[in-house]
Structure 1
């Protein structure tokens, strides 16, 4: 079967996509991107609500930075819109064509899709902190020294080229429809938008035990020694508890937001590319090729002199 036939099979019966094609036939979006289109006005409204409550606190809100964060998010959405269908989706369609199982969408497979996507997100997110090539794209999300809803929009336009989407490929090969995977992923990101705030304290114990919460995610954005590389979960925090990466927020040690090597620039291109520049600069130093290539998959703090 030709690649386009595979893609049409995957998209068959997509109601949200048909709705969008009716509203805007000149622009083709998949369901995942369509969810973001409808969610963005909600994100803006909630950000304005938060702004009214923290606007007088410069440690929590800086209007130029908030606008810049949404611009970073727009760049991310644009490259996803233009290139995801060319780069990632054909691979998903190919693997789904040769899938192991034929799974129909029902409550059980829907729940398994959600759990599978969240599990893959955990490992993708963990890898994006511990593998420098992936960190080069993810670092922009952590480079702000403030925590508010606009920080959630602070994403890298290079994500689609960086390849972090490969972590979800096994789900398509097992037999989960890529459309379901995309929807589950988009809904997870919508949920995660709401954990980027300082206005919500700790939630009831059972919620904190199972779900990613603002308290848990504040830890994730902290650069305090005890908070670095903790709480990678997307919707659920159970993966961190299972795999030993969980840390609770300590009210006596509030998170200091940002990265250990701050980037003092307001230029979007610099924010998107500074870690790639440092990565390739490190790789360009004289030495054996295998050692130079190690910079790609070693942790961000690794250096050749450390071995």
Structure 2
């Protein structure tokens, strides 16, 4: 398959996102209208513009990144693809791919919060202190370079690369609808099975109880299964634990990479340098900052000390 064929496969009429763009625009207009009518103060113009700029940059960069991975997936599919006949463009194949794709997304997303280097790429999506449909477009310029590695097992099984990339786009479209404060909680059965605006608001929260929770794409069942689920309870505070004060898309894209580089530079040993890169965000060699799990352990220890067991 030549490169022109690959570019045609992953863009234009073959990409479901192309057809969703008018819907995205319409929903943003409706949300802005509700915002102005109800005086909710959901939008700040410069912040929304920064989100749109991040989205456009990601669209251009990922076109080439996806072309590279499509080529790699095609080669994998050609030489392995153990169950091609059963999985490629069959009803059963699409149903299984829906769950396999979402499972892959969950682990990609979760590890993007638990590995500092991956967090450097992903964190700009969380860097807005607003939460609205524009934030859904605040996509990383670098996340695509590693994201698709989590999907490489799918063409091995026999899912056609075009199916894989189409399902990735379908998941992305679904997740757009999660980025709103206008929609409150949905019926209980929906909240139990699916990722919803309520669940995803938690994911974007910097409240201690919300950190590193609800990594799901479409199905919240993965978070329930792997112990990362947290329901929306207290009001959500959006942004980062250390917010960045910039609307410049380039600075947004590199902010956490810059912070990571500074930490690596000041680390006294090579072992510590590697830990800054691969350990969770917040890890420090001198205890000057803490990971989420370390903070939670300290809080639990403090609560235990203040409320000793009477048993």
Q: What is the TM-score of this pair, normalised by structure 1?
A: 0.86
Deviation string for 1:196-224 (max 9, x for gaps)? Answer: 10111111111000000011111111100
Alpha-carbon offset, residue 6 of structure 1? 11
Deviation string for 1:53-95 (max 9, x for gaps)? Answer: 1137464211221122111101000101133213x22321222
CA distance in 1, matches of 2:105, 2:119: 15
Specify which of 194, 213, 225 is matched with residue 208 of structure 2.
225
1:302 aligns with 2:286: no
Specify which of 43, 48, 56 is matched with residue 66 of structure 1.
48
Contact 1:136 1:275 in 2 (8 A): yes
Contact 1:31 1:182 in 2 (8 A): no
Alpha-carbon offset, residue 258 of structure 1? 0.7
Alpha-carbon offset, residue 172 of structure 1? 1.3
Secondary structure of the structure 2 residue equivalent to 1:154? coil
Secondary structure of the structure 2 residue equivalent to 1:265? coil
Match of 1:200 in 2: 183
Alpha-carbon offset, residue 51 of structure 1? 0.2
Deviation string for 1:88-143 (max 9, x for gaps)? Answer: 22321222122232233222111001100000000000011111111111111111
Match of 2:198 in 1: 215
Contact 1:121 1:234 in 2 (8 A): yes
Contact 1:118 1:233 in 2 (8 A): yes
- Report the aligned-residue RMSD: 2.1
Alignment of 1:136-147 (within 5 A): 136-147=120-131
Match of 1:289 in 2: 270
1:178 aligns with 2:161: yes
Match of 2:294 in 1: none
CA distance in 1, matches of 2:116, 2:9: 31
Contact 2:175 2:217 in 1 (8 A): yes
Q: Report the CA distance shift for 1:197/1:135 in structure 2 as closer, same or farther (over 3 A).
A: same
Match of 2:241 in 1: 260
CA distance in 1, matches of 2:276, 2:148: 21
Alpha-carbon offset, residue 181 of structure 1? 0.8
Match of 2:300 in 1: none
Structure 2: segments with no counterpart, 5+ residues: 291-311
Match of 1:243 in 2: 226
Q: What is the TM-score of this pair, normalised by structure 2?
A: 0.85
Structure 1: segments with no counterpart, 5+ residues: 12-26
CA distance in 2, matches of 1:83, 1:6: 12
Contact 1:6 1:94 in 2 (8 A): no
Match of 2:10 in 1: 30
Deviation string for 1:22-79 (max 9, x for gaps)? Answer: xxxxx74515873222222211111011001113746421122112211110100010
